[in-house]
A and B are shown apart, each in its own frame.
Chain A
Amino acid sequence: MRKVLIAALVSLSLAGCATPQWLQTVEKVVSAVTLGGATVSNPVTRSRLNQMENAMIVVVAGLQTWRDSCEQHVIPATCFDQIAQVQVYTRKIPPYLEQLRAFVKNNNQVNAMVVWNEVLKIIATVKAGAAAGGVAISVDPGVI
């Protein structure tokens, strides 16, 4: 049986030539995270969830750097609106995480898969929302 994973590659790039080189590097790779789509043959196990959460930590570390640079006025002021738009969706993630952890803990795979795939949808929505705000975020579903 072919193992199907959805590769969600999220890359951020900011407009504006005033962005420092180091931040551009962060923006390019910070949100590159591969998230496996949950299926019956590819369930959300405790170990898998932990790996995904660690991947998200790397992503959020980069997002925080973007935010810090914005608040310190290191990058163009348009970043405030861009980040605010991204926050609309990142704020939806914690309740889902809470549900997901509970479902995985109880091995409720049916609901765990539903919630995890919902998180993938949020990431796609982040892409659309950020793009509307001038931040290019590409979420490329793929098959591994």
Chain B
Amino acid sequence: MDPMTIIALVAKGLAVVTALAEAGKNVVPAVTAIKNLVKSTENGTVTDAEVDATDAQLDAMLTKFDLPLVR
């Protein structure tokens, strides 16, 4: 993605983080993701460790969201 796209995405992400923080929700995953977005854009590349960490984080979050709902 080009830098301008990343900037727009970061801005939207920060709006999410702000709202989550105001509600007392966990903001760590979103903040980390935003930080990674900026970092990878700066560097233009990613390390194996960064890729593995992102993959693991996303997989875990999708797994959690996809669990059956508790009514």
Contact = CB atoms under 8 A, between A and B. Distances in A.
Interface residues of A, number: 46
Main secondary structure of the interface of A (DSSP, over half): helix
Contacts, number: 131
Interface residues of B, number: 44
Main secondary structure of the interface of B (DSSP, over half): helix
A3 B54 CA distance: 27
Given A32-B12, A33-B9, A48-B1, A90 B66 contact: yes
Interface of B: 1-2, 5-6, 8-9, 12-13, 15-16, 18-20, 22-23, 25, 29-30, 32-34, 36-37, 40-41, 44-46, 50-51, 54-55, 57-59, 61-66, 69-71
